[in-house]
Amino acid sequence: MSLTPEPAGATEIGTASPAAVGARPSDARVATKERLALLRRSKSFIAGSVIVGFWVLCAIFGELVVPEDPLASDPINDLIAPSADHWFGTDKLGRDVFSRVITGARDILIVAPVATILATVLGTALGLVTGYFRGAVDDVLSRIIEAFLALPVIIMGLLVAVALGPSKTTLILTIGILYAPIISRTVRAAVLTERELEYVAAARLRNERTPYVLFGEILPNVQGPIIVEFTVRLGYAIFTAAGLSFLGFGIPPPAPDWGLQVAEHYSVISGGFWWTVLFPSLAIATLVIGVNLIADGVASAFER
């Protein structure tokens, strides 16, 4: 059940004949190709990819290139202002802020995408089932989903973190499960229109098994909204993960997580130690803006 678009085939846009009976697969391939071409031309997509790409590189190679161990404390040299030795200064334990900001990309770039993939898979399955079956199944599942949505995400995350204790896994599960209902609503709406189309009726008349109709026939046709929803939710996942980390319910110390760095140092802001909070904040801000630019590009390419 791969969500990535298939690689574009050799079919040219002009050669796909809409009249051909078995034209659906090649039509889909042409559409995918057109979308990718649109994406390549989208300024916001390119700008977003550059920003996010930078942070992905930091997440993968950051530990190798940073000047100091991000966890090594040096209490004698605490709260030093930015200088040639410490580009972003040092924090209240004397740790190098530059090294911590660069390596801090890793945790959030593991937590947010994994949580979003979890939410997308769960939400897609739920949306397909509720949209396709309607009736009692839909009613029961939809009420349960609404119960999940009855509390703000941050409050739910706070309760779960208190119950299970803060950890990366808790954070991923919380965000993944809380965002699944939101994604399922979008998928459900798309499935509701798809299920009335002739190809679904044809598959049913061919006596195809229901899982095949759901995942083999309908799923490829609701790909667009799912991909758009994934990129949008990724932005929100970063937002929520950073917020929970800031509250102390995310990634536990001494990890160089950005939200955690702000949480550990906002009490010293009034002492004038601005570098301890400014740089992690800028890191979060650029990452979410990058993801949002990508989402903007994807949305305009996939929603005609």
Partner 1 sequence: MLPGDVARRVLGPFADQASVDALNHQLGTDRPLVAQYWDWITSFVTGDLGESINNRPVSDVLSDPIVASAKLALLAFVIVVPLAIAGGVVAAMKEGTFRDRLISVGGLSATAIPEFVWAVFFILIFALGLGIFPTTAQFPEGASIFTQVKYLLLPAACLVCTLFGYIARMARAGTLEALDADYTRTAVLKGLPQRTVITRHVLRNSLLPTIAVVATQAGYLIGGLVIIEVIFNYQGIGLTLLRAATQKDIPVLQSGVLLVGVVYLVATLIADILYSILNPRVRLGAAE
Q: Binding segment for partner 1 among 24-32, 112-120, 156-164, 176-184 (CB under 8 A)?
A: 156-164
Answer yes or no whether residue 291 interacts with partner 1 by CB under 8 A: yes
Q: Binding segment for partner 1 among 24-32, 105-113, 130-138, 148-156 (CB under 8 A)?
A: 148-156
Nearest to 167 by CA among 256, 260, 250: 250
Answer yes or no whether residue 152 interacts with partner 1 by CB under 8 A: yes
From residue 122, how far is each of 38, 41, 127, 132, 220 by CA, in Å? Answer: 29, 32, 8, 15, 16
Q: How far is C-alpha 251 from the chain's CA centre?
A: 17
Nearest to 136 by CA among 185, 144, 279: 144
Answer yes or no whether residue 277 interacts with partner 1 by CB under 8 A: yes
Which residue, chain included where needed, has tokens 């000047």?
67
Nearer to partner 1, 219 or 293 (CB): 293
Q: How far is C-alpha 284 from the chain's CA centre?
A: 14
For residue 142, the minimal CB distance to partner 1 (Å) is 16
Whole-angstrom distance, CA of residue 218 vs CA of residue 52: 32
Q: How far is C-alpha 127 from the chain's CA centre?
A: 18
Q: Binding segment for partner 1 among 71-79, 92-100, 173-181, 272-280 (CB under 8 A)?
A: 272-280
Of positions 61, 199, 212, 266, contacts partner 1 by CB under 8 A: 266
Answer yes or no whether residue 136 interacts with partner 1 by CB under 8 A: no
Of positions 153, 172, 191, 251, contacts partner 1 by CB under 8 A: 153
Answer yes or no whether residue 39 interacts with partner 1 by CB under 8 A: no
Return the residues of window 85-124 that contact partner 1 according to CB under 8 A.
none
Of positions 50, 197, 201, 285, contacts partner 1 by CB under 8 A: 285
For residue 105, the minimal CB distance to partner 1 (Å) is 15
Whole-angstrom distance, CA of residue 279 vs CA of residue 261: 10
Identify residue 105 by its one-letter amino acid code. Answer: A
Of positions 2, 15, 207, 270, contacts partner 1 by CB under 8 A: 270
Q: How far is C-alpha 42 from the chain's CA centre?
A: 20
Nearer to partner 1, 107 or 296 (CB): 296
Answer yes or no whether residue 144 interacts with partner 1 by CB under 8 A: no
Binding mask 236-265 for partner 1 (x = CB under 8 A): x-xx--xx--xxx----------x--xx--
Angle at 81 between CA 79 and CA 83, to 5 degrees: 130
Query: DSSP string spanning 30-83?
Result: HHHHHHHHHHHH-HHHHHHHHHHHHHHHHHHHHHHH-SS-TT---GGGTTPPS-
Nearest to 241 by CA among 179, 187, 162: 179
Answer yes or no whether residue 293 interacts with partner 1 by CB under 8 A: yes
Which positions touch partner 1 (CB under 8 A)? 44, 150-155, 158-159, 162-163, 235-236, 238-239, 242-243, 246-248, 259, 262-263, 266, 269-270, 272, 274, 277-278, 281, 284-285, 288-289, 291-293, 296
